Structure 1
């Protein structure tokens, strides 16, 4: 996708209009099922209403739990040289405990965005139009976006997870562009490349 050359106008803090254009996403992007049993998070103090949000549907988490159970069971079979592990009670306990982790934490992973803010769970939030640093850091098989705003607030999550709701990502991405263009946010090289920010960077990062 072509790198954007400038940010779109900042949306109104209450109405969210005009909505920013569609932001670049990863090549592997696909639609995701959104939770129906959760709502958006609470806006930070002094900020406008939530405009977009996302949390995984229960079915998505159940699928991940089932897949992890199969993987752990395969490891157990390899470790015991067969299926002898099925008679060992504590192995079942470990399998169930590890798989259940995928069913927990949906609320902690819920992301919510307003016209000029992003929150992850109930503890992290940033002003997306006053970002001071924008970092993309590598993790095992993924990349994590790390944001810090001018007040020192921080938020981080996987890039592909933020893009699960494209309208939410559009809001966040436009804030990133504004922070770079109008406030000189510090951006690392991986973020420039991964987020297609080449056209709005005045001075290429050295690392």
Structure 2
């Protein structure tokens, strides 16, 4: 891994912003308003956050329904469309995914992240690992204080600026000896050369 690491951002200002982290959702994200009831707390200012909304629920539900229909068409042609319990199943899955994303709560500061569990200090990690399968990887972070936090990588990457902050801390921790297995190293794309920094929240650039 490249040892020429970018600097740690200032806890209050978030400057300088970390380089863009590798990921699948690197487009510009519309910033969410700050809602103290939905933004997990940390030891310093939350610079980036993500929480589920009704709009996110609709997108998740529509996406999963389309994927199921495409899969069934590829596997069984059009015959399954005459089987009404299958439509009931698809509707039930869609409704479930409409609710689930609204429970997502994440926040990150310059040197911490909280994905709904413990506050983990990202520059003090002793273990970085993943579990799951492609498309649903769970990231598990453990710091020197024994705090452990878990979050879906796809959720982190919905807010690219939040993911940048977390990824920069992971890079620093791995560089100084945090435990990481080869599969997690590959999933996080830690061998990729860092991209230029992103623009700050609300700017027109990415």
Would you say same fold, with TM above 0.5?
yes
- Provide the secondary structure at the position in 2 that maps to 1:29: coil
Cα shift readout 1:8-58 (whole Å, capped 9, x = no counterpart): 222222222x234323313x43426558577351313xx001100123553
Match of 2:61 in 1: 65
C-alpha distance 65-196 of structure 1, shift in aligned 2 (>3 A): closer
Distance 1:179 1:72 in 2: 39
**Structure 1: 5+ residue stretches without partners:** 200-207
1:111 pairs, out of 96, 106, 110, with 106
Distance 2:168 2:127 in 1: 15
Asked whether the equivalents of residues 55 and 111 of structure 1 are also in contact (C-alpha less than 8 Å), the reply is yes
CA distance in 1, matches of 2:26, 2:87: 34
Structure 2: gaps spanning 5 or more residues = 193-206
In structure 2, distance between residues paired with 1:166 and 1:73: 29
Tell me how far apart the structure 2 counterparts of residues 185 and 99 of structure 1 sit (CA, whole Å).
39
Question: Does the aligned pair in 1 maintain the 2:65–2:94 contact within 8 Å?
Answer: yes
Distance 1:170 1:59 in 2: 24
Q: CA RMSD in A?
A: 3.5
Residue 50 of structure 1 pairs with residue 46 of structure 2: yes
Bigger mean CA offset, 132-141 vs 166-175: 132-141
Partner of 2:148: 154
1:193 pairs with one of 182, 186, 191: 186
Q: Say whether residues 1:128 and 2:125 are aligned partners.
A: no
Structure with bigger RCO (C-alpha 8 Å, 6+ apart):
2
Mark the CA change 1:32 to 1:161 in structure 2 (over 3 Å): closer, same or farther.
Answer: farther
1:24 aligned onto 2:17: no
Aligned length, in residue pairs: 188
TM-score by length of 1: 0.70
Deviation readout 1:111-133 (Å, 9 max, x if unpaired): 2101111111x334311111110
TM-score under structure 2 normalisation? 0.70
- Which residue pairs with 1:175 in the alignment? 169
Contact persistence 1:117–1:128 (CA under 8 A): yes
CA distance in 2, matches of 1:180, 1:165: 23
